Chain A
Amino acid sequence: MSVESAYRPRLAYRHAVGTAFRWITAAGALLGIVLLALLLTDVARDGTRLLSWDFLNAFPSRFPEQAGFKAALWGSIWVIGFTALLSFPIGVGAALYLEEYSGRGRLTRLIQLNISNLAGVPSIVFGILGLQLFVRGTLGFGPDLGGFGRSVIAGSLTLTLLILPIVIVAAQESVRAVPSSIREASYGVGATRWQTVWHHVLPQALPGILTGMILALSRAIGETAPLIMIGALTFVAFVPEGPGDPFTAMPIQIFNWVGRPQADFRDLAATGIIVLLVVLLAMNAVAVYVRQRTQRNV
């Protein structure tokens, strides 16, 4: 007969634990998607009724049936456009400096730590900074630089500060992912650091950098708090014509409509959300397209 075994397999129990764990993780994965789908259905039900070309082409109004999204849509496009123009070169430059030039000294580690921390700072804090620095042009001490007022450029600068940490960290990761053998090959034929970065590191890191850039801009386009803080207007009957003009933005307009007592305005907010989402998806689509093109050329 069998001797007492040294093992006690309990196979059925171990498999049961495995199965249970699998369903728990599946539930976790599904929960988010289901909630998002519910939200989108709700928004679509409320929002499609008022969705029309007139909605995109009209300025806000006291009467819900005449109110439109034009000022908010174009305001967002202006602000995000300048945010992209500002944050791309600064963010990529900072990442390249930290990864390719700065070495591994104490100062680098300090900068790195600060960037990671800045990524976690609440956006309203950036709003306060933007209000003082970019709108009023002074920090209360030091020189008074004049400031840009409650303008598109002040909003863009504020949002740039907000997303820079994300852009930098994403760009750093893609720069770091470029194999060092490529750098060595480049140095090995007598390339300078700049030539190595420009001809090899940057082109290979670009798809990853663009992905991070789009993620960051997607966050910026939905930001409300810092823009309210710097005084973006909530009732604007014009489209900005330059970086110095006042503006409103999509999330601010949505926020404003949600706060109205009339039910029609809340439907209008849902319509605005649909437009915001479409713009967001369009941006992501462009990013995917650009990324695949750059990858193919490599």
Chain B
Amino acid sequence: MVGTIPEGARPLPQKAPGAPLMSSGTGTPIASPAPAAKPPIDVDVPDPIVEIRDFDLWYGKFQALEGVSLRVPRNQITALIGPSGCGKTTLLRSINRMNDLIPYVRARGEIAVDGRNIYDPGVDPVEVRRVIGMVFQKPNPFPKSIHQNVAFGARINGYRGDIDELVERALKQAALWEEVSDKLSESGLTLSGGQQQRLCIARAIAVSPDIVLMDEPCSALDPIATQRIEDLMRRLAEDYTIVIVTHNMQQAARVSDRTAFMLAGDDRTGRLIEYGTTDQIFSTPRDERTEAYITGRFG
């Protein structure tokens, strides 16, 4: 767990100073952006596990995100939807500081996980990523055995329990155990695409994260494999908080509890347009752009 700071004890600057992401100097912040447009509609999430506050992000001189504020509820599934290039993947990768790996990325604002800003200078992104796991768009198992794939995270994080037992538990949670229990020493690459993605989910949950980020986890899968992953997500949401990016609005409607709609303007900078319960977003969107998108008029 990221160290927890009691609610209310933390100061709330309107614009936190830009926290440098990369240790290699990336220069001074560019001129501060124009004052954020009207704050996006936020729904009431009483006890958020992730609270994004006024978050901006730049790739070099290009601003990819502006003024995003979002409260992610605990043990629920939150979907980020929007057309290509709207910044939803960037936002997702900001939640576990995966964007740190890209040169010339700068972020400003705050992403608080259990009350602690993960962009504080004292926070180690390596620790953040153990607590906030990730499943990627294309299944990316290590070219190693199924067992090693699941065990890797536990090993490098100094897991002190029984590794074999952990591997079995993670594979069972990922609904893959039945299919691979007799071939744990075979390469993860011998599995089918859907199995590989479930292996990646097992790998992510094997380090007991609190949150699992999923970046279009089904986009490379066929409908049957997609359905299995969606069923799995519903079950995982009992133990984990899930944030999923998806291009597929039906998927968002099927699996998620809350939906955030993002959109990039003519400047290609992504902003959060509307956020609410999935029912509300898909039945009575408040913003006409949300309505246009979910009814398929663009994107």
Contacts and interface: CB of A to CB of B under 8 A. Distances in A.
Interface of A: 103-105, 179, 181-192, 195, 199-200, 204, 298
Nearest to A196: B156
B142 A103 contact: no
B98 A187 contact: yes
Nearest to B131: A190
B127 A190 contact: yes
B152 A189 contact: yes
A188 B204 contact: yes
Contacts of B98: 184, 187-188
Contacts of A204: 143
A67 to B, nearest CB: 52
A182 B140 contact: yes
A189 B140 contact: no
Given A190-B126, A190-B157, A191-B153, A185 B142 contact: yes
A187 B132 CA distance: 11
Given A103-B22, A189-B203, A184 B126 contact: no
5 contacts: A103-B24, A182-B143, A187-B126, A188-B98, A190-B129
A108 to B, nearest CB: 10
Interface residues on B, range: 20 to 34
A104 B204 CA distance: 30
Interface of B: 22, 24, 96, 98, 101, 103, 126-127, 129-131, 133-134, 136, 138, 140-144, 152-153, 156-157, 200, 203-204, 206-207
Given A181-B136, A183-B101, A184-B101, A190 B153 contact: yes
Contacts of B130: 189-190
B136 to A, nearest CB: 6
A54 to B, nearest CB: 50
Contacts of B103: 103-104
Nearest to B144: A298
Given A105-B24, A190-B207, A199-B156, A185 B129 contact: no
A103 B200 CA distance: 28
A10 to B, nearest CB: 45
B96 A188 contact: yes
